Amino acid sequence: MRAEISYDLVMSDDMGFVEGTFRLPGGDWQVVIVSQYDVSVPVAVPQVWDSGVRGVFVRFPRGWPLNAAAVERVLSASLGVTEWLVVRGPDSMQLR
């Protein structure tokens, strides 16, 4: 399955955190937030924000490089996506 992803920040090789949005085929834009935690593997937790918008909050292991490829791998495993197309989508803060 091919999906779209948009990052709120300019991505680098190792981010402190990541915020963005993604859209599955035929679906609405959803929010993704990735923050570093003391976990041994990434944990993707489905969310519904106060606005009613859905998405995923990812607890990402400290010390692992946090970049676009890492975010897309975690989301792919969680959502069944096989290919991500990076696009300009809505800002996650506006959706939340």
pLDDT in tens, 35-82: 999 999 999 999 999 999 999 999 999 999 999 999 999 999 999 999
Q: What is the pLDDT of residues 19-39, one digit of tens each?
A: 999 999 999 999 999 999 999
Alpha carbon distance 41, 43 (integer Å) = 6
* pLDDT computed for residue 40 by the predictor: 98
pTM: 0.94
Give the E-state strand segments of the chain in sequence order: 2-7, 17-23, 29-37, 43-48, 54-61, 83-86
Q: What mean pLDDT do residues 88-96 have? A: 95
- What distances in angstroms separate CA 31 from CA 24, 77, 80, 83, one per listed residue? 11, 16, 16, 18
